[in-house]
Amino acid sequence: MSFILAEDAALKNYLQGMTVADEKAPVRPVKVWFGYPDVEVRTQSYPYVVVELLDILPAYERQNSGIMYDSDNRGTVAAQAGVMYRYSMPIPYDLVYQITTYSRHPRHDRAMLFEMQQRFPSQYGSLPIPNAINTESAYRHMFLDGFLKRDQIEDGKRLFRAVYTVRIVSEMTPVDANNALHTVQTVKINRVTTNIPAGLTPVPHLT
């Protein structure tokens, strides 16, 4: 996966596996959502965690220039003997996320506070991100830039919230950058479709 998608997936994966306990359920899993879930979903799913991407910042202070060589094209293809790839240094970025925990029960709230502090220490956090072909992972630095307790009342019930601002160091590879900058000039369409993959049907007005 590429820039941002890889971090999103890694962060969601990193938050999986949290559980809380109470008098009714000794193990209650904590769900993780991207963006705030619909009301029908969330009323049934407390406690849960919401992840939101807040900002994408170029990290000029970490920028290097030069040419890199490797055998797996930055983890996008399997290495082959005698084949090397050459590319420019990636562009460093900081990705800023807001991670918010929601619960109705003070015990759940405290349990999640504990779990989150373990996962997001102030300065020495690291997020494992697998490469595109899933053969190895890079550990990205992760910083807890802010924490805020924002308990409130929702529908006459207590809602315990804790808000974490987390910064993850990242980089955009030259391939991603080229794709992002590439402008489509022309689109060619075969008006006569002769090779239709199994399970697909041609769009009627184009045939």
Burial state string for 38-74 with b = 16 or more CB within 10 A and e = fewer than 16: eeeebeeebbbbbbeeeeeeeeeeeeeeeeeeeebbb
Residues 19-38 that bind another protein (CB under 8 A): 35-36
Q: In the stretch 165-194, what mask flags binding to another protein with x, by CB under 8 A?
A: x-----------------------------
In the structure encoding, which two tokens stand for residue 7, read together?
């971090």
Using the rule CB under 8 A, is 151 a contact of another protein? no
Q: Tell me which amino acid residue 49 is.
A: V
Q: Which is nearer to another protein, 121 or 146 (CB)?
A: 146
Q: Cβ closer to another protein: 19 or 98?
A: 98
Query: Closest CB to another protein among 11 and 96?
Result: 96
Q: Does 62 bind another protein (CB under 8 A)?
A: no
Longest dimension (CA), the chain: 67
Confirm if 30 and 112 have CB atoms less than 8 A apart: yes
Cis peptide before 174 (omega within 30 of 0): no
If DSSP codes are grouped into helix, strand and coil, which group holds residue 145? strand
The answer to whether 156 contacts another protein (rule: CB under 8 A) is no
Stretch that binds another protein, among 74-82, 84-92, 123-131, 152-160 (CB under 8 A): 152-160
Give the interface with another protein as residue ranges (CB under 8 A).
35-36, 42, 52, 54-55, 57, 96, 98, 100, 102, 145-146, 148, 150, 152, 154, 159, 163, 165
